Structure 1
Amino acid sequence: METPYVDNAVKALGIISIALFLKYMFQTIYVAYFGPLSKIPGPKLSALSTIPLLFRGTNGKRWYWYQRELRPKYGKIIRIGPDIVLVNDKDIIKQIIVKEDWPKGDFYKIYRAAPHLQTLFSTTDKAFHKQRRRLLAPAFSIKYIQSLEPYVAKCIRNLNDKIDSLIQESSSTDGAVIDLYRMLINTTLDSIGETAFGGSFNMIGKGHHPLPKEVFVELSKRMLRNGFPIFKPFVKSNQYLYDFSSELIKRRRQEVGVRRKDILQIILDAGEGEAALADIDIYEQIIEFLVGGSDTTSYSTFFALLMLLTHPSKLHKLIEELDNEFVDLPRNELPKHEKLKNLPYLNAVINETLRLWPISLDGGSGRSPTEDKVVNGVLFPKGTLILTNYYALHHSAEYWGKDVNEFVPERWFNDDIPRDAFYPFSAGSRNCIGQNFAWFEMRLIISSLLRRFRFEDIPGQNYSDIVHIVTPSLAQDEYKVRAWNRP
């Protein structure tokens, strides 16, 4: 039999629970329908909860929801969560990213292995970012990237030789059928292996290496652990990655004599004394570079080639430019980047591809004001996560004209191009540190392939079905074309 004391305690606990629940409901409803963001249009349920947003993120189709459903219905400023706003307005984005340089939102902490392990990408601390970027910047300077050309060229030669061998093995006059999408992914992975991990992964030759796959598995685990703390005790870190990277760093530190000049070495040498990076920081940083420097570059390179194959007149112009520039260079030799970087039509093709198929599909850069801010008459309360919708800017007829959805490299020869509506690598202090490397690699791959081979699209394949979880990718994970050697 319960005593009056116990009975009263149970009643009190029940009253407190009900009060807390009512308080939570009141705050939720107030924030949703009466708070500072209540005047911003968006789905009614999104104002109450982030569940619709999280649900769509699990299958990689959040970007489709943003671009195909929300943007046409709600316009340039859309509320997609209780404290999350998607912005498609050029002037507001420029104010936030470039002029005022708001710090990244806490959302980026989801990519960390532990709360204290900040990286160039995941940090929200502007002072930390400035210091870390200063340490790593020499590895991505134009001059240093030029010194990496032999490593990247080696991987591209392997790609060319692989395609050539498939052509030789094919007895059909219809050419060899090759999976161009997968081959490009393997090439950029090998390139990152050569320049940041001490050697190629040999993805082109073998088609498999455990490291790249394990990296993306680990990132998924981090997002699960940090996004849903209830799962944290059950989702362990990837021991393979740690062991692999620790051994790699250990071997490199023990080397004597002439050392390999690559990105890993310059990171190892970065800073002095207390400013030097610890092994765990180096491990986190090179893992980040693998993700940022492989799938993204292969994705952009693939779409550049695909747009050319589906627009024969544009393809002819670029081949003509390459043939005229390298008339005395044998087709099986790679052009030097020093000459490629100045080819106007090649650069226009890449720019137009980055406009149509940007790697940021579902919110380019998440920023949060440290105090209440009014931008172009819109109030963004302290802590609001602002997602800058670069994809929307790139596909806005208001900024680019009626042919906005067409592949027109020639538009980049116009003086009035709306460059403040073009953010392929973000902008401001948090722009992509690897953009010079990406341009370098894309120019080399595209030019070498088009000079040596003739490609033809195979109709009927779906390249518009894209999933975007960490980086964008084709849902079918392949795209095949026909290939012949050029005479």
Structure 2
Amino acid sequence: RYFPSKYNREIRALKSEVERLLMEIIQCRRDAVEIGRSSSYGNDLLGVLLEREKSSELNLQLIMDELKTFFFAGHDTTALLLTWTALLLAQNPTWQDKVRAEVNHAWGVGGGPTPSSVDQLSKLTTLNMVINESLRLYPPAALLPRTAFEDIQLDDLHIPKGLSIWIPVLAIHHSEEIWGEDANEFNPARFKTSNPSRRTFLPFASGPRNCLGQGFAMMEVKIILAILIARFKFAISENYRHAPVVVLTLKPKYGVRLRLSPVD
């Protein structure tokens, strides 16, 4: 971490650049209010955080940390969910057709969600099943770090206070003991009859420290997929190489190349 290697120098330079850009955005919002060009800091996440700073509930460092978290957790993981789901739909044309038929039934052929009809997203049960199965097979966060805040005794297992615990989400999601003999296969129907257990389905973690943005992420993904699948057919490029790799998140090592063709 502290050794002045090329990698560490690049990380520090990138960190400084990100913080500089965030500080520019923050200062621009502050200046707009101070000179009277705007009556508020805005109605987005940054605006809410700056209002909290104004009332001394947050300081600048906490605001910067929240923005960094939003950039990482709110962009990379959602993009990966879209990527893996599109791949699975391309690999499974029968399910792709089912999702397209459901979207067409909700908004008409070639249609898709509009601002006034987003509430219908909850009715897209087939799409929701497909997304859940994508999250099970390819959870963006393959590992979840946790720390014991107090001594814990689980039967014969003692977990001392301060111990770091890594929850193997990817392994849990592929366990045949939990999901059956087809645990490694794409089968959205497993989510048809019941909601998955919070202890065995952990794409957004679970408990009081689960992902705060899971509802927002799911809405984003449903809207984008519904619009795309209503207009295009997904097929895998012959150049695609399947190589999932964990680099903080579960990524396709060589990317995902798909062919999109207009729906007839």
Please give the range of the TM-score, normalised by the shorter of the 2 chains: 0.7 to 0.9
Instruction: Find the aligned partners of 2:234 and 2:134 in 1 and give their Cα distance.
Output: 18
Partner of 1:472: 250
The aligned amino acid for 2:241 is N
Query: What's the offset of the Cα at 1:298?
Result: 0.8
Task: Select the residue among 46, 54, 61 that pairs with 1:264.
Answer: 46
Q: Which structure is higher in strand share?
A: 2
Task: Select the residue among 7, 19, 22 that pairs with 1:242.
Answer: 19
Partner of 2:262: 485
Aligned pair count reads 252
Gaps of 5+ in 1: 1-223
Q: Does 1:411 align with 2:190?
A: yes
When structure 1 is superposed on structure 2, of 246-255 and 256-265 the one drifting more is: 256-265
Query: What's the offset of the Cα at 1:418?
Result: 4.0
Contact 2:83 2:256 in 1 (8 A): no
Instruction: Find the aligned partners of 2:123 and 2:54 in 1 and give their Cα distance.
Output: 37
Query: What's the offset of the Cα at 1:338?
Result: 1.4
Query: What's the offset of the Cα at 1:420?
Result: 2.6
State the SS of the aligned residue for 1:261: coil
- Provide Cα deviations, 1:89-127, integer angstroms capped at 9, x if missing partner: xxxxxxxxxxxxxxxxxxxxxxxxxxxxxxxxxxxxxxx
Task: Select the residue among 326, 332, 347 that pairs with 2:128.
Answer: 347
Instruction: Find the aligned partners of 2:262 and 2:45 in 1 and give their Cα distance.
Output: 34
Q: Which structure is higher in helix share?
A: 1
Query: What's the offset of the Cα at 1:459?
Result: 3.6
Instruction: Find the aligned partners of 1:302 and 1:230 in 2 and give their Cα distance.
Output: 36
Contact 1:340 1:444 in 2 (8 A): yes
Q: State the percentage of identical aligned residues.
A: 27
State the SS of the aligned residue for 2:260: strand
Equivalent runs, 1:355-366 vs 2, <5 Å: 355-361=136-142, 363-366=143-146
Q: Does 1:300 align with 2:86?
A: no
State the SS of the aligned residue for 2:208: helix
Partner of 1:461: 240
TM-score normalized with structure 1 length: 0.48
When structure 1 is superposed on structure 2, of 305-314 and 418-427 the one drifting more is: 418-427
Equivalent runs, 1:250-399 vs 2, <5 Å: 250-255=27-32, 256-257=37-38, 260-270=42-52, 273-275=55-57, 277-327=58-108, 331=111, 334-335=113-114, 336-361=117-142, 363-371=143-151, 373-399=152-178
The aligned amino acid for 1:282 is I
- Provide Cα deviations, 1:28-63, integer angstroms capped at 9, x if missing partner: xxxxxxxxxxxxxxxxxxxxxxxxxxxxxxxxxxxx
CA RMSD of aligned residues (A): 2.3
Contact 2:90 2:236 in 1 (8 A): yes
Gaps of 5+ in 2: none
Instruction: Find the aligned partners of 1:350 and 1:337 in 2 and give their Cα distance.
Output: 17
Cα 1:429/1:274, change in 2 over 3 Å:
same
